Amino acid sequence: MAVIISASQLLGDLDDPEARPVLLDVQYQMGGPPGRELYERGHLPGAAFVDLETALAGPPGTGGRHPLPDPEVLGAALRTAGVRSDRPVVVYDGGLGWSAARAWWLLRWAGHPRVRVLDGGLAAWPGEPVTEEPTPEPGDFVPRPGGMPTLDADEAGALARRGVLLDARAPERYRGEVEPVDPVAGHIPGALSAPTSENLDVDGRFRPVGELSRRFTELGAQPGAEVGVYCGSGVSAAQQVLALELAGVPARSTDS
């Protein structure tokens, strides 16, 4: 199944009872207003809010800023939002695809077979956002973890020595020139800088598959290579994994 969906295709699917997806709003800004506040300012009609900090990640601590959530907590949040095992899901955020990709990655990790990210996010929607909050019919989805491959810190370091490990953060963080969030600056030895901003065009949509393939091939990340991705907390790394999947390259990701 495709991993992204255009706004025009989503409009058509919403009018088709057979294809109509569950819509999840996962707007999030690091250091910005809470996601719930962003959702209340405007969201897609019928979309339910899922909070990145409390549903799509466990409590921060020794496991990182956004460790994998408890499957029971994740499942409860998704069922409240109306997620069902037999219905497709479309997730979106404010535009860069970071938190939407985190939701996509987690749903895939949890075993949901049909999840797509709205390409361009809320900014790509042709209509006016709404403020009315829906009351979804409770879903039935029960997470079964293990659907996406992960990397821990030791495995990431080892992969950088034998394969291709991509650092999804901004170049200045990779170089250690600034570090606004984490206690240690710099990057994992052997990792290559691959900022997620370069996966998108000027409109905030994913670049064409051919361009993504060329980009990753130049980094050595191509079909058949062992590829891993990391960032500061596992959010922007998920966007990189999604871009790699568009390019036909499976990749493992750190989960926090």
The fold of 150-254 is Oxidized Rhodanese; domain 1 (3.40.250)
Cα–Cα dist 67/49, whole Å = 20
List the beta bridge partners of residue 253: 150, 229
The fold of 4-124 is Oxidized Rhodanese; domain 1 (3.40.250)
Given a contact cutoff of 8 angstroms between Cβ atoms, the answer to whether 116 and 5 are in contact is yes
Closest CA to 111 of 138, 129, 135, 84: 84
Report pLDDT for 31: 73
Closest CA to 53 of 90, 82, 27: 27
| Assessment of whether the complete model's pTM goes beyond 0.85 | yes
Helix (H) or strand (E) holding 253: strand 252-254
Given a contact cutoff of 8 angstroms between Cβ atoms, the answer to whether 95 and 121 are in contact is yes
Alpha carbons within 13 A on the beta-carbon side of 243: 34
Report pLDDT for 32: 75
The full set of domain ranges for the chain reads 4-124, 150-254
pLDDT in tens, 29-87: 877 778 999 999 999 999 999 999 999 998 876 667 778 999 999 999 999 999 999 99
Question: Any idea what DSSP says for residue 146?
Answer: -
Domains 4-124 and 150-254 share a fold: yes
For 183, residues 6+ apart whose C-beta sits below 8 A from its C-beta are none
The catalytic residue positions are 231
Residue 234 has pLDDT above 90, yes or no: no
Residue 148 has pLDDT above 70, yes or no: yes
pLDDT in tens, 169-224: 999 999 999 887 777 889 999 999 999 999 999 999 999 999 999 999 999 999 99
